[in-house]
């Protein structure tokens, strides 16, 4: 499967230190035990694990070395160790062996996505729900960026003398709407004329292409004598000068809050605020979208303190018309990456396949 480490603090990078085979074995065992139990892992427990073949004293020495290098930490209440964000990043980049999803799980995902005839927005929401239900964490899906979408149809509805509701429908079937201020009063009949004109002129173009065409024609406005064309360009310019909102669907927000790491009330409020406001989610998902393959953000990083203690696994989906969005799973750093990574990867490829089949019928 495509897996390319991200860049920047928090995204999975190759570690600078070279760990010995013994250190790698102990670090991997601690992370895998901690993933299951959520409890600090002690040297005696590790020494009894099959394949370790070390005394508790030898294990303690390796653990002390790993702690000194920043891969482990010691909770005050326990003699055991827990992984740090650095430890998780090394594990994902160097120790993790990702397996393909089972046939049963792949068939379940496909069946759930195709069970009902869903429009594009419904499909994306369902993908988020399935990611959440399967992982027991929070599923995230970001609609393709407005500027990269392909225009299918636009509608203008008179809201008041100076305000117009714009309904924008993409070729992929995603619907967005926004209230805009207009510089001159327009009747609904005039808006209908503008609607018909723009739909004839711009259908099949990307929003970026439409912006460029409108700008060129606006530069020649003095030569335009047709009043309908003039009104259409003015209204188009007003609509397109500000992108419509980037949209993120958050499914299963309560799942992550059920994890013991987030039992603290202040932590719960911080995460709920992040889910509600969504600005940080858009920033993180947009950054992950800039690189192909599965991307993994582990830990808080200074600029992302709102998701301290969390990891985000993402992958892009697309249609054959070039529009691209991103989906993923947000969970605790103590998530089973070997399961979540192929889950996100397959879900993205499945959504891409369904979108392509739908666009073939448009």
Torsion angles phi and psi, residue 13, rounded to 5: -130, 160
Residues of the chain with pLDDT under 50: 2, 4-9, 14, 361-362
Contact 129, 251 (CB under 8 A): yes
Residue 61 in tokens: 């020495």
Contact assessment for residue 319 and residue 352, using Cβ atoms and an 8 Å cutoff: yes
| pLDDT for position 246 | 60
Phi/psi at 220 (5° precision): -105, 20
Q: What is the pLDDT of residue 12?
A: 59
DSSP SS3 for 177 = strand
Q: Quick one: how far is CA 352 from the chain centroid?
A: 15
pTM of the full structure: 0.75
Residue with tokens 């310019």: 237
What domains sit in the chain, N to C, each tagged with a CATH number?
21-95 (1.10.10.10), 103-144+248-360 (3.30.450.40), 147-240 (3.30.390.60)
Token representation of residue 325: 């969005």
| pLDDT on residue 87 | 94
Please report the pLDDT score of residue 10 as a whole number: 57
pLDDT at 223: 52
Question: What is the predicted pLDDT for the residue at 241?
Answer: 63
């Amino acid at each position: 499967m495509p897996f390319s480490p991200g860049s920047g603090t928090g995204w999975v990078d190759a570690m600078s230190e070279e760990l010995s085979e013994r250190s790698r074995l102990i670090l991997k065992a601690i992370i895998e035990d901690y993933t299951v139990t959520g409890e600090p892992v002690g040297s005696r427990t590790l020494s009894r694990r099959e394949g370790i073949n070390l005394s508790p004293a030898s294990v303690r020495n390796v653990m002390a070395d790993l702690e000194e290098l920043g891969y482990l930490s010691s909770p005050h209440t326990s003699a055991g160790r827990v992984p740090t964000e650095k430890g998780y990043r090394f594990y994902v980049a160097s120790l993790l062996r990702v397996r393909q999803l089972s046939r049963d799980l792949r068939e379940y995902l496909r069946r759930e996505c195709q069970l009902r005839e869903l429009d594009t927005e419904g499909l994306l929401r369902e993908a988020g729900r399935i990611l959440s239900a399967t992982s027991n964490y929070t599923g995230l899906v970001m609609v393709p960026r407005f500027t990269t979408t392909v225009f299918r149809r636009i509608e203008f509805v008179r809201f008041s003398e100076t305000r117009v509701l714009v309904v924008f429908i993409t070729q992929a079937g995603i619907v967005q709407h926004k209230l805009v201020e207009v510089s001159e009063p327009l009747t609904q009949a005039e808006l209908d004329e503008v609607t018909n004109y723009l739909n004839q002129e711009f259908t099949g173009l990307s929003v970026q292409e439409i912006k460029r065409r409108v700008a060129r024609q606006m530069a020649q406005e003095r030569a335009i004598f047709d009043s309908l064309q003039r009104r259409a360009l003015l209204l188009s310019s007003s609509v397109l000068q500000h992108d419509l909102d980037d949209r993120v669907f958050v499914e299963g927000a309560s799942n992550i809050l059920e994890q013991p790491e987030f039992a603290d009330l202040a932590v719960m409020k911080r995460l709920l605020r992040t889910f509600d406001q969504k600005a940080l989610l858009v920033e993180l998902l947009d950054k992950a979208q800039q690189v192909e393959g599965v991307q993994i953000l582990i830990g808080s990083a200074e600029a992302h303190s709102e998701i301290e203690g969390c990891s985000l696994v993402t992958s892009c989906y697309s249609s054959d018309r070039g529009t691209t969005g991103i989906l993923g799973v947000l969970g605790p750093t103590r998530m089973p990456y070997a399961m979540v990574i192929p889950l996100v990867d397959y879900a993205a490829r499945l959504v891409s396949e369904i979108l392509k089949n739908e666009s073939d019928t448009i």
